[in-house]
């Protein structure tokens, strides 16, 4: 079992930046690929970005390419989402997820554990 706790959400103006953190506890963090998803009001949850187990490979959704960066610190059992050049359409609840295994996943069904989410609101 893995417990995931997100933090770092908040209100920011368009063009600003935020860094989300996801602290993992429980089983060995390095055994999991990690991802971030988001869900805006009235919309389905969507993939944002993911990182593989050893941190050497990442994959971004087209909507965030060049603006969002995922990273992981195994010593701290934490994965980060650096969000720059934020837009109002980035407003959503952001979820951290863990996937058993090495490879990146891009769909909900590929992830085994989820955090409770953190709200990000971007004002225009």
Q: Report yes or no: 55 and 31 within 8 Å, Cβ to Cβ.
A: no
The residues pairing with 110 across neighbouring beta strands, listed in sequence order, are: none
Residue 106 and residue 14: Cα distance in Å, rounded? 26
Share the mean pLDDT of the chain: 95
What is the tens place of the pLDDT at every residue in 31-59? 899 999 999 999 999 999 999 999 999 99
| Burial class of 62 by CB neighbour count within 10 A (0 to 12, 13 to 18, 19+) | exposed
**32: nearest Cα among 3, 11, 64:** 3
Q: Say what percent of the chain tops pLDDT 90.
A: 89
Higher pLDDT, 64 or 26: 64
Is residue 110 packed enough to be buried (19+ CB in 10 Å), middle (13-18) or exposed (0-12)?
middle
User: What per-residue confidence (pLDDT) applies to 28?
Assistant: 80
User: Per residue in 91-120, pLDDT tens?
Assistant: 999 999 999 988 999 999 999 999 999 999
Q: Looking at the predicted structure, is the pLDDT value of residue 27 above 80?
A: no
Q: Which of 12, 46, 4 is nearest to 29 (CA)?
A: 4
Six token digits for residue 63: 């909507």
């Amino acid at each position: 079992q893995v417990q995931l706790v997100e933090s770092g959400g908040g209100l920011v103006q368009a063009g600003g930046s935020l860094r989300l953190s996801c602290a993992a506890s429980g089983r060995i963090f390095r055994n999991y690929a990690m991802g971030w998803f988001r869900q805006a009001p009235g919309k389905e949850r969507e993939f944002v970005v993911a990182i593989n187990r050893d941190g050497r490979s990442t994959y971004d959704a087209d909507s965030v390419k060049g603006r969002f960066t995922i990273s992981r610190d195994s010593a701290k059992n934490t994965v980060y989402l650096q969000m720059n050049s934020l837009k109002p359409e980035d407003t959503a609840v952001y979820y951290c997820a863990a996937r058993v295994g090495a490879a990146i996943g891009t769909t909900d069904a590929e992830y085994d554990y989820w955090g409770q989410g953190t709200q990000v609101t971007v004002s225009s």
